[in-house]
Each structure stands twice: as C-alpha cells, then as structure tokens.
Structure 1
Amino acid sequence: MTTNQLIDQIHKKQSFLCIGLDVDLNKIPKHLLEEEDPIFAFNKAIIDATHHLCVAYKPNTAFYEAYGIKGWQALAKTIDYLNSNHPDIFTVADAKRGDIGNTSTMYAKAFFEDLGFDSVTVAPYMGKDSVEPFLAFKDKHTILLALTSNQGAFDFQTKSIDGLELYKHVLETSKAWNNSENLMYVVGATKAEYLADIRQIIPNSFLLVPGVGAQGGNLQEVCKYGMNDAVGLLINSSRGIIYASQEADFAEAAAKKAEALQIQMEAELKRF
C-alpha cells in the first residue's frame, strides 16, 4: 500500500485509528475456546465489527508466536482475511525485528512476501545495514522504533550524546538511508510532549503512536503536536478496544470503543 492510499482511507473514514490484535487466550471470551482456531475466530469477529472505523490493524507477533505453529497459522489466516476482504486497510506486523543484513532480508521476506503485511516494526540499534533490507521492498513500509511508550524508554532513548538525545540521532541518521521515504516511526502517546521536536526533524513522516487508551496517552495532545498536513498519524489502541468485553457481545463492545475513538479523531481532523 502506498502512503497516498493510506491518506485517502484516513479522509474517507475520518479516522486514523489502528487496532492492535494482541490475542491472549486467557482474555478472550470462553466460548471461543471451543472453536477450531479460537485466535482467528476472535480476530475475525473484531475485524468484522470494526473495519469501517479504522484504517489499520496491528498484530503483535509475540501473541501468536507464543502459541507455536497454531498461533503462526492463525496470524497468517488473519492477514489473508484482511488482504482478501479489506485490501484498503493498512497492516502492521509489530515484530520489532532487526539483525545483520542477510538476516533482515529474510525477516522482510517473511512479513512482506509470505504473510503479505504492508509494514513491519524494526529496531534501529544495529544501524543502517540492518534496516535497509526492509526498505528495499516497493510499497512496503518500515516502522522504526524511535521513542517508545514504555517506562524503560528513558534508559537509553532520551540520553544525550554530543548534546542530542539518542532518539533524535536515530531520526536524523535514518533520513539518509536508502529508500528512507518508506520509513515510518514509532512514537509513544505517553511521550506527546516530545512530538513538537520530532516534527522538526521528520515533518512529513507517518508516526505510529501506541499508548492511547490502556496506557493513558492523550489523543488531543498527540494530535496537537504530531499531526501534519497529511495527518501523518496512526493512533493504536489494543487492549482498550479488543477486550472491552469478555462476553458474547465482545465484538459489539469493541466496535463501541473503536467508534468512540473514531468520533474523537473526526473532530480532530475537522479542527486541524
């Protein structure tokens, strides 16, 4: 999917919502455990109930890998279902990969070619040659971890090196990499006060912003400092939507939570 196609969907749906599909079998409704593939059954119901309210879905691959081959098969079925029924929706493999060049190439093939994701999250710590293999794929996007929403982000990401915080070094350096136009960046909603500085460095890039909802991030603050002329934001909510109910009405409850965010996003788009 191209960036322009994503922007078109944002304006069409008046939403820049990304829903995280982080499936924990201990949290899904008990009746789904009787299904042949409870993970896919849960995802399908959530997708069917919310696809008109969001522009992206983001499965965190750890929640599938934890269940072995059955989990990986459920992930493949989920992405195939999305690509077959909702090809206009942007898909994010939240895998946080990154390794030496030939290994990164294999990771990229796994997510872009085999599974058919539109994007994958990648750690920048190993530098240029660990990221550029992901960037080489046409109309695919590499979402670089820049400033994350967890408390441990302060251990390294905000430390100053030669007067510049590490996350700013990541942003500045990555702009010079081959095919950097395919880069997006992860910036946590709990770090909204940093967004103004981030936009000074990467004014035109899309930001994937986790942390709205269960982690306490503020949507209005993120939009105030992070939105650009092309919107430039994908706001992710996972637990706050998909686990709105553990009863038979779980999909409808998820849709209500998603709709509440979409309505707020529509208001922000009109205000901008």
Structure 2
Amino acid sequence: AEAEMIFRFNKAIIDATAPYCVAYKPNLAFYESRGIDGMIAFENTIKYLHSHYPNHFIIADAKRGDIGNTSKMYAQTFFEEYNIDSVTVAPYMGEDSVKPFLEYDGKWVILLALTSNKGSHDFQLTEDKEGERLFEKVLKKSQEWGNDENMMYVVGATQGKMFEDIRKVAPNHFLLVPGVGAQGGSLQEVCKYGIIKDCGLLVNSSRGIIYASNGDDFAEVAGQKAKELQVEMAAELAKL
C-alpha cells in the first residue's frame, strides 16, 4: 500500500510539471529509507516516466562511487536494470571508481564538483600550494576520463559567482544546478555566470516545487511553481 501511495504522489507531481521541465531527478535515499516499498515506488516511477514521458531526461540522484567492481554493479543497476539516462557520482575515489559508469554509450555521469551545502567549504574549496582548489582539480582531472558528451558536473546554485571560475575550466560541459528555490540559490546569478551559447545548465528545483503545498492542491500548486521557474528560465535564455 505504501508503494502505491508514493507512486500516486509522484505520478500526480509528474503529470502536473511535465509540460514545464526537461528532466526528473529522483533522490534514491528517500526511496531506500522506505525499504522494499520505496524501491517498488521508485521502479514504478521510472517505468511511468519511460512510458508516458519518454523525452524527459532521468537522473538517478544516488551519489555513488566505489572501487571498480562495486561501481560496475552500481552502473549496471541504473543503466541496465532501470535504463536511467544518468547518475550522480562522487569522484573522491578517483578514476577507477568513475570509469565503469562511462562505459555505457548514450548514458551520462554527473560528477559532484562544487555543491550547495555549507560543508562544501570543508574540502571542495581548500587550496593546494599552487593555489588550485580541490573542485578545480576534480574538473580538470575528470576531463581526462570523459568528455562533454557523457559527463556533467553538479554545481550548487548557492555558489553564484563561482560559476565564472568553473566555466574557465569546463567551458562546454553541462552543469546540473541544484539549490534554486528552497536552498536560496539565485537563478539570475547562475545564468549570468554559468550560461553558455547552448545553455549548458540543467537547473533543478525540488522541494520548492514538490512541497509548495501540503493540501489537496499539491499537484496543481507544484505545476504552477514549475511554470513560474520555466518562465524565469525562458527569460534568461532569451538573453542569449
């Protein structure tokens, strides 16, 4: 019963927001925390997207990354078992933890580069003796493993002007940008410093849309919020 309730909620949100977005990013932790019911709901949600919205890009927000044989199983899970388009990956363990995800044609790896949380300062912004920050090292080194047709980067919307520094190192890669909305990131600032001629941004708002209302009108309000963000994004794209 719980699996069905979660799926019905997701279906309502998807149907209300699909006209205004290009991608969906289910966060695995919230499904895993509900045990088998959660994973059934996750699988049914993915199947629904495939059957009803086949042109929408799907991101498994799983933040995986482990030694080679383990990463290989993670990649098999998302790219073969669920046939999802992309998965978020933590690059901390290096090339052999990322490479298994890059072996699938037509699939994308989305590497964590500079995140939107306060803890990003603990490691990502630390500098080596040459003054290079860790996130810059991640951007440079990872481009030896993949290219801008199979790899993107997570860059939090709260990082603002930092997008300028990121574009110096990764001028053509798509950036997945969480943190607009509930986390307080500015869409205008993100676009000012991060947008490129082909757009190059996948802007994500989750809680600000999904939980905009806790009443019976939750799906309708979610659709309105998604439309508002889409209108804002269209205005930024019109500046190109």
Bin for the TM-score computed over the shorter chain? over 0.9
1:181 deviates by 3.5
Aligned counterpart in structure 1 of residue 138 of structure 2, from 155, 164, 170: 170
Q: Counterparts in 2 of 1:52-63, with a 5 A limit?
A: 52-63=19-30
Query: TM-score scaled by structure 2?
Result: 0.97
1:244 deviates by 1.0
Counterparts in 2 of 1:35 and 1:155: CA distance versus 1, 3 Å: closer
* RMSD value, Cα: 1.2
Please state whether the residue corresponding to 1:271 is helix, strand or coil: coil
Match of 1:228 in 2: 196
Kindly indicate whether the alpha-carbon contact (under 8 Å) linking 2:148 and 2:174 is maintained by their aligned counterparts in 1.
Answer: no
Match of 1:140 in 2: 107
Q: Which amino acid aligns with 1:217?
A: G
1:153 deviates by 0.3
Q: Which amino acid aligns with 1:189?
A: A
Aligned counterpart in structure 2 of residue 266 of structure 1, from 216, 234, 237: 234
Q: Which amino acid aligns with 1:80?
A: K
Counterparts in 2 of 1:224 and 1:41: CA distance versus 1, 3 Å: same
**2: CA distance, partners of 1:81 / 1:111:** 16
Aligned counterpart in structure 1 of residue 165 of structure 2, from 187, 194, 197: 197
Q: Indicate yes or no: 2:65 matched with 1:125.
A: no
1:230 deviates by 1.1
Please state whether the residue corresponding to 1:211 is helix, strand or coil: coil
Match of 2:10 in 1: 43
Question: What are the superposed Cα offsets for residues 34-82 of structure 1, whole Å, 9 maximum, x if unpaired?
Answer: 7761110000000011101000000110000000011011000001100
Match of 2:48 in 1: 81
Kindly indicate whether the alpha-carbon contact (under 8 Å) linking 2:3 and 2:40 is maintained by their aligned counterparts in 1.
Answer: no
Match of 1:110 in 2: 77
Counterparts in 2 of 1:38 and 1:100: CA distance versus 1, 3 Å: same
Match of 1:25 in 2: none
Q: Which amino acid aligns with 1:253?
A: V
Question: What are the superposed Cα offsets for residues 146-167 of structure 1, whole Å, 9 maximum, x if unpaired?
Answer: 0000000000000001310000
Q: Which amino acid aligns with 1:156?
A: F
Query: TM-score scaled by structure 1?
Result: 0.86
* Stretches of structure 1 lacking an aligned partner (at least 5 in a row): 1-33
How many residues are treated as equivalent by the alignment?
239
Which structure has the higher relative contact order (CA within 8 Å, separation 6+)? 1
Match of 1:24 in 2: none
Runs of 4+ in 1 over 2 A off after TM superposition: 178-181
